[in-house]
Chain A
Amino acid sequence: MRNSFILLFLSFIVLISCDDDLKTYPVGEDFIDSNISIKVIDSFSLKCGTFMLDSIVTSNTGRILLGSVIDNNLGQTTSQSYLKLKNTLFDIDTNAKYDSIGFVLNYDTYYYGDTTVAQTYKIHRVRKIIEPDEGLGLYNTSNFPYDSEVLGELTFTPKPHKTSDSLYIPLNFNLGEEIFDKLKDNEINNFDDFEQYFNGITIIPDTSTNNHILGFQFKNYTSNNNSSMRIYYTIPDDDNENNDSFIDFNIVEEYQFNHIESNRLNTQLENFETSETIISSSYTNNIIYTQGGTGISARVEIPYLKNLNKLSENGTVLDGKLLFYPLKGSYDNNPLEESLMVYVVDHKNRIIKELGEAVLTNNKYDEFNEDTYYTVDLTLYIEEILSATYTLNYALMFQFPDYKNTVDKIFIEDSNVEEFKMKLQVSYLTY
């Protein structure tokens, strides 16, 4: 009897315990003694500088970059393109009659600089098979020998806004005839024969004025809106008037590359001796620079980041972000990229990894007041630095997402001007 009572008690407990759930009470700080606090720290010192990447793989990007621009800070940037060509037709009607040869350059709408200015492109014949020395890529610094003789040239004012527009550069008549005859006479029967005979061409812009750099598109196959070398011929016929034909010599995508040169003579960025050279922002008017194509890259180091570990025994970093401002007035002609890529580099400026994107925020308050800055989340980066058992001499590098085939630039403020100060904001939790 007694025990059954106790059992009854126990079952009562089990029944009741189950349907309970705790409620939450929002209370003020007066009520509870909580040591938990979060503060935002943004007083980190930042070491800003600019360096230049050794070389950039510019082959196989699908874009021919041509032109020359001059910038007070970055000097003269010139892009010349090397093209390996591949014929698409080896059998030509024996009655066919050669007409002319030329080069079609089809806009891909990328442009940089002042497109109202005229420019002259000159085409030369390359005298070495275009292929990498080793590995797979050709670089912005790669060179191949070419004839000094100009095969063809064109002076034009660009309209680079439609992919259906193109430039046509007439080439040397005799060259076309020679190629045509070799094809017709079956001296060239395959691509290898053609490549041995004709190594390729290079297109060189005029560098005497500051104008523009344009992008042209090409494909591996014959189609519309394609850049290629083209031989025109006719097949005489009795009754057909419409007997014009052409052979396309398409650009071999894999080995097309742009040779991009940066001449910074008499600029503040003149002296990049090696890729390890960092020019501090204090020598460059408190501005750091990033330019696609040339590999000029803004670099930010957070030298005392690891001191966060000493801040508190009961504390931890919640998140961190870096905020930086593009220099006002430096992006009036070419709009700012929506995002920049952020890479981790070491003390010798070797790229360790890709970290993420710095995203543009553009708050327009009124006609005169706007807040334009980039932010990048550094939470994982900070975590890595803080938890590393040894000191990582890492820094951040900013580049354009498509820096291999653009020559865009961005000027970034360092920590000098209060209003546009680059700053690291870290949320730090103590408990």
Chain B
Amino acid sequence: MMLKKSIITIFLLINTILWAQNDTSSPYSLYGLGLENKTSFGGFTAMGNTGVAQITTFQINNFNPANLSNIPLNSFLYEIGINGTYSSIKTSDISQNTFDFNFSHLAIAFPVIKTWGMSVGLIPYSKVGYNIDLKKPIEGSTSTFNTRIIGSGGLNNLYWANGMKIHEKISLGIELSFLFGTIDEENWILTDPLVNILDHNYYNGLKFKTGIHYTLPDLANTKTTLGVTFEAPTKLKGTQTRNSYKTIGGYQIDIDKDTENNLDDFELPLTISIGVSSKINKNIISNFDYKKLWWENTNNYNNSGNYTNQSIYAFGIEYKPSKGYGFSSLMKYRLGLNYNTGFLNISNQKIDTYSISIGLGIPMSKQNASNLNISYSIGKEGTLSNSLIEENFHKLTLNLSFMGDWFRKQKIF
């Protein structure tokens, strides 16, 4: 019964992730494949999106597949998350506030044998949502015309990950991702006649990720793990279906009718993440992560901006009080910082992001294996200088990391 219900629920959620109108409204999402999904699993979001080296036993670690080797036998882990972002977006002339809501992920993980864990999940990979008015001169005349450009859609990541313990202190992981999705770009050329061009840009491709966890010998009550992941460069194939029409004298005249075009492949760069995670006195976990994406080695091209190598520096800390009395002593308190250089250089200006986050992990069972994680982050992306856009955001993330036990068929709640 339980199994059946769970499967139905999971299908429902997958459906929602794939087909729900995922609202993102950031002008920056027009670059590349859109805004990267920056929400991670469990408590990692509140810890500044760190966790490459962190070992978690009851929480799926989406940063490093090697961690899957740590799932205890007879357990079954679920992970679902949602987030809402309140942004104020400013240009030098105007300022507007938006609220976006997104499903962030759905994943499951389970052990195959004691030293081998497996995970399957669906995570939004990127989100596109923008609504931009562009004014351009009409060549050969003194007038101008406006185009309204509306982008929507995004890519999904369906992954299958495996983690294996090959040594008491060493785990290896491999993750295969299938990235797929449609980015729509609609252009309304606000002239007389009115022209509408709607491009469905479908991308898909595979991505490989490998990871390692290496645990150092304990030192002064501190258990330190090193983690590294490596993502090979890959290409996403793109195809475009274009429909366009113009409206002359009340008549709609088709220009393109389901015209198929090839899009340039979108290249994902070589990506390496390095992390250090220390557990001090069983109360404190601290993570340092560094991630680099070599975008400059890709052939991705954009007229209005250059792709530059992207670095992400992140720090996160989690505090869990020693056994005490009261509910508050069961909670986990988290804090994180993140700086992301971004991958774009527009008007000689890097579009970078700073954020700070705090969060709570609220236990939902006595074993402390299921948690409701809440995190709140504030941050700033972009800049007002050089006619660009600055986005200040407040993001609230809610996710459930919980443990089921299909194999024991025993209720834990």
A: residues with CB less than 8 A from B are 1-3, 5-6, 9-10, 12-13, 16-17, 19-20, 22-34, 36-42, 316, 318-319, 379-380, 383, 387, 427, 429, 431
Contacts and interface: CB of A to CB of B under 8 A. Distances in A.
B136 A318 contact: no
B9 interface: yes
B363 to A, nearest CB: 14
B131 A2 contact: no
9 contacts: A9-B400, A13-B82, A17-B21, A20-B98, A20-B99, A22-B23, A22-B129, A25-B131, A38-B136
A318 B134 contact: no
A2 B136 contact: no
A371 to B, nearest CB: 15
B384 interface: no
A25 B132 CA distance: 5
B346 A3 contact: no
Given A1-B413, A9-B80, A26 B93 contact: yes
A38 B94 CA distance: 27
A12 B80 CA distance: 14
B84 interface: yes
User: Is chain A's binding surface mostly helix, strand, loop or mixed?
Assistant: mixed
Given A25-B27, A319-B193, A380-B248, A12 B132 contact: no
A37 B246 contact: no
Contacts of A318: 191-193, 195, 246
Contact of A12 (B9, B82, B141, B302): B82
Interface in B238-280: 244, 246, 248-249, 253, 255
A300 B253 CA distance: 26
B140 interface: yes
A316 B402 CA distance: 56
A31 B29 CA distance: 12
Contacts of B249: 379-380
Given A33-B302, A431-B197, A39 B135 contact: no
B255 A31 contact: no
A278 B388 CA distance: 60
Q: Which of A9, A32, A41 has the most CB of B within 10 A?
A: A32
Nearest to B400: A5
A42 B304 contact: no
B329 interface: no
Interface in B343-400: 346-347, 386-389, 398, 400
B74 interface: no
Nearest to B21: A17
B311 to A, nearest CB: 23
A351 B386 CA distance: 58
Contacts of A429: 189, 191, 195
